[in-house]
């Protein structure tokens, strides 16, 4: 039997070299049955022409402007659903470098797992430029009472401490392999979160409404640079977006009790951020965050 087809959806926006580096690593993959779909979200750096020249096997889709992370990924999903007979879809950032066997390990993990209800898997992610400094070991732990999203293992040196626990309730984010059935359950990324922020976690939760465990495959290894397209720091432009999307996300997925506690604790939980930014003379960011929280209640 042939290996299942994997559709890989990746975004780029004025990050040509980062994207080319990622594609170079993907073309070293030992897993051949894959189709890379690169969505150019309004770049002005000539990335489309260069990718077409160097990697003609890549399907490059272009949006005339940056329509956001959710909208851009949906462009790739629409193409994959309409044109490809894929079994799995992989969502990944363009600032990722992969090991040659990562996709084989990831697909094998889901294909060989005895419980077919487990449909979503994630690799072990190291921080770029390090040998074993963990960026994420399986996903983020969500606390709906406090609004925190704590990334598993972040900043730790990998000594195999996470190798044995493979079924997790941590939600995968940065690099996610999803069975087509899970994708169909979720539909698309929700553009209400555009331009970016919480759209990835929201998508995964909607793909897994019964909260089945997620599969962590530590043998599948990638390296994450951690750049954010369009992110310009904790400022008056970023904080309203962060506050709005955070509030909308937790309102959508929290229970009534959790949502009540989150709102009750929010002023206390914000004190650390307020003090930090006031010390930096960044009062506008605090005002922006407050506006974002208020707009997220609508």
Whether residues 147 and 85 fall in one domain: yes
- Residues 174 and 35 both lie in one domain: yes
Report pLDDT for 244. Answer: 87
Q: What is the mean pLDDT of residues 64-86?
A: 97
- Structural domain tally of the chain? 2
Question: 186 and 41, same structural domain?
Answer: yes
Range scoring the smallest mean pLDDT among 108-122, 174-188, 276-290? 276-290
Summarize the confidence of residues 72-87 as an average pLDDT: 98
133 neighbors 115 (Cβ within 8 angstroms): no
Report residue 262: phi and psi, to 5°.
-60, -50
277 in any annotated domain: yes
Clarify whether residues 106 and 131 are in a common domain: yes
Same domain (yes/no): 27, 152 = yes
Please report whether residue 60 resides in a domain.
Answer: yes
- Boundaries of domain holding 175: 6-224
- For the chain, what percent of residues have pLDDT higher than 70? 91
The CATH code of the domain that includes 38 is: 3.90.550.10
Alpha-carbon torsion angle 270, 224, 103, 78, nearest 10: 60
pLDDT band at 152 (very low <50, low <70, confident <90, very high): very high
Residue 1: the pLDDT is 56
- Whether residue 150 is found in the same domain as residue 201: yes
Tokens representing residue 296 in the block: 């997220």
Using the predicted structure, report yes or no on whether residue 160 has a pLDDT greater than 90: yes
Q: What is the mean pLDDT of the chain?
A: 91
pLDDT the model gives residue 228: 47
Work out the average pLDDT over 92-98: 97
Contacting residues for 82 by C-beta, under 8 A, at least 6 apart: none
* Residue 108 dihedral angles phi and psi, to the nearest 5°: -60, -35
β-bridge pairing 140-143 and 148-151: antiparallel
Co-location of 174 and 253 in the same domain: no
Query: Is 264 domain-assigned?
Result: yes
User: Same structural domain for residues 62 and 203?
Assistant: yes
Question: Same domain for 130 and 256?
Answer: no
Mean pLDDT of 20-39: 97
The predicted-structure confidence for 219-234, as pLDDT tens digits, reads as follows 999 999 975 444 445 5
- Helix, strand or coil, per DSSP, at residue 254: coil
What is the three-state SS of 171-194? ECCCEEEEEHHHHHHHCCCCHHHC
- 231 within a domain of the structure (yes/no): no
Q: What pLDDT, on a 0 to 100 scale, did the predictor assign at position 265?
A: 86
- For the entire predicted model, the pTM comes to 0.90
- Average pLDDT, integer, range 192-220: 95
CA–CA separation, 77 vs 114, rounded Å?
A: 28
Same-domain check for residues 183 and 263 = no
Q: What is the pLDDT of residue 109?
A: 96
Instruction: Note whether 47 and 192 are same-domain residues.
Output: yes
Could you tell me the two tokens for 197? 């922020």
> In 113-237, where does DSSP find H-type helix?
180-186, 199-207
Q: Give the pLDDT confidence score for residue 230 in this predicted structure.
A: 41
How confident is the model over 56-62, as a mean pLDDT? 98
230: in domain: no
Query: What pLDDT is attached to residue 217?
Result: 98
Q: Hey, is 36 helix, strand or coil? A: strand
| Cβ-contact 124, 48 below 8 angstroms | no
């Amino acid at each position: 039997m042939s290996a299942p087809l994997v559709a890989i959806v990746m975004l780029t926006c004025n990050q040509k070299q980062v994207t080319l580096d990622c594609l170079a690593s993907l073309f070293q993959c030992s897993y051949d049955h894959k189709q890379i779909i690169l969505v150019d979200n309004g770049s002005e750096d000539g990335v489309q022409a260069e990718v077409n020249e160097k990697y003609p096997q890549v399907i490059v889709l272009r949006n005339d402007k940056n329509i956001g992370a959710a909208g851009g990924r949906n462009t790739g999903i629409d193409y994959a659903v309409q044109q490809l007979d894929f079994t799995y879809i992989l969502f990944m950032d363009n600032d990722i470098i992969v090991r040659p066997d990562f996709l084989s390990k990831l697909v094998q993990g889901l294909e060989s797992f005895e419980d077919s209800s487990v449909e979503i898997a994630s690799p072990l992610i190291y921080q770029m430029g390090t040998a074993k400094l963990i960026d994420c070991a399986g996903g983020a732990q969500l606390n709906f009472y406090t609004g925190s999203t704590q990334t598993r293992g972040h900043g730790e040196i990998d000594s195999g401490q996470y190798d044995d626990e493979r079924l997790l309730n941590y939600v995968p984010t940065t690099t996610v392999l999803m069975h087509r059935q899970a994708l169909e359950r979720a539909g698309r990324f929700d553009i209400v979160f555009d331009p970016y922020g919480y759209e990835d976690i929201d998508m995964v939760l909607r793909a897994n409404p019964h909260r089945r465990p997620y599969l962590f495959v530590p043998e599948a290894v990638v390296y994450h640079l951690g750049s954010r397209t369009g992110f310009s720091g904790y400022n008056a432009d970023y904080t309203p977006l962060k506050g709005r999307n955070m509030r909308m996300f937790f309102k959508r997925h929290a229970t009534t009790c959790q949502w009540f506690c989150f709102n009750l604790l929010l002023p206390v939980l914000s004190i650390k951020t307020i003090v930090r930014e006031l010390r930096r003379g960044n009062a506008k960011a605090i005002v922006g965050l407050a506006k974002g929280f208020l707009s997220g209640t609508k």
